[in-house]
Amino acid sequence: MTAISVRVDGQRIEVKEGARLADVVMEKDPRCCVAVIRPATRESAQTSSFRAFSTQGEIIIEPTGPGAEIFTGFAVQEPLRIHWHDRYAAAFGPFSSDITPARSPYLYERGEVVLGCGGYDPRRSYLVFSKMHHSADLGAAAGGGVIGKVVSGMGVLDRWMTGDEITRIEQVISWADTSRSFTTLDGNLVLEDGMEIITQVMIRAAGFAKDHIDTGIAVSVEHLMLAYEDGQFEVGRSASTHIADVRKSGTDVPGENLLPRREGLVTVRVQGRGRGSVFIYTTDTPASAAHTVVGQVTHGIELARLAREGDVFSLRIEP
């Protein structure tokens, strides 16, 4: 019988043609839906975002210039190991490219992704992620070699250390694709070749670093952890920018961490009738004094995007 390939939470699995969802998601809570992303032709690689999966979490990159073509090429390559890192940047590689180094320093901003090289040798090229505003000669082409900007998961850059890897880079689902994507509880759904299944949302709680815990946001983060002892997010409200679980509405929570609400950020409302409700943002929104940031989605943002009012899905918080 012909075999087909599907991805379950990022892992490629080969199954027999005609296999069903229950055959690859065997331990799912029957109350929890999963996201199903059917294979579809993307509208345009030049306008789509890319997701980089790393050993410290996921980041979303918006490509610029030749970035889309470069990131698409990495979809079929081996994992990229971190080669060097410091307070200013982290570089992954090496790999071969066709850049012509300008041999000049350039100014870089936090979150910019640069195609550079070591020793001005394009055969030793690197993806360099800028962690902060700084000037450096990264062996990039004229103009600085910026090929993208990290738009979600910025905190991952600060956690990268020796031994970390970018395991793969792939195009992000866009809203143009969602006519073929949905949430379901149906274990009898017949799988298709190239289908992607997302079974859970994973969140890294705010304030936890390798050698430090920020006690200044402890109360609001504890609220998040207590709210999901059962490991389930119930979508009580769905909007174009977020989904919200309102089961803890009416709980007083202090505003400890007021930041712009970027895609993938998790907040708790601290004012009004909905105080205590938990929000997951699916697109960027300005900061609000009514919300405190308590975490960052590191896996499964597609499930949050596709979830609708009444859906329940599995949620896991780290650490």
The verdict on 75 and 161 lying in the same domain is yes
Q: Which of 171, 190, 213 marks a domain boundary?
A: 171
CATH number of the domain within which 227 lies: 2.40.100.10
The CATH code of the domain that includes 74 is 2.40.100.20
Question: For 23-51, what is the mean pLDDT?
Answer: 76
Output the CA–CA distances (angstroms, integers) from residue 213 to 162, 217, 244, 298, in the order listed. Answer: 21, 9, 27, 19
Q: Is the pLDDT of residue 14 over 90?
A: yes
Two tokens, residue 220: 């609001």
Residue 40: per-residue pLDDT:
61
The pLDDT tens digits for 231-271 are 999 999 999 889 999 999 999 999 999 887 878 899 999 99
Q: In which domain, by residue range, is 242 found?
A: 199-318
Last residue of a domain, one of 153, 171, 189: 171
- 122 shares a domain with 221: no
Q: Which residues are CB-neighbours of 49 under 8 A, at least 6 positions away?
A: 60, 61, 62, 63, 151, 171, 172, 174
Residues 155 and 78 in one domain: yes
Same domain, residue pair 125 and 165: yes
CA–CA gap between residue 93 and residue 117 (Å, rounded): 9
CA distance readout (Å), 184 to 247, 268, 318: 22, 27, 25
216 and 286 part of one domain: yes
pLDDT at 43 over 60: no
For the segment 34-47, the average pLDDT, to the nearest whole number, is: 63
Q: Are both 165 and 230 inside the same structural domain? A: no
Claim to verify: residue 220 and residue 288 sit in the same structural domain: yes
* pLDDT band for position 100 (cuts 50, 70, 90): very high
| Residue 122 counted as domain residue | yes
Query: What confidence score (pLDDT) does residue 185 get?
Result: 96
Residues 294 and 213 in one domain: yes
Which of the 8 DSSP states describes residue 141?
P
- pLDDT tens by residue, 175-200: 445 557 899 999 999 999 989 999 99
Residue 13 lies in a domain: no
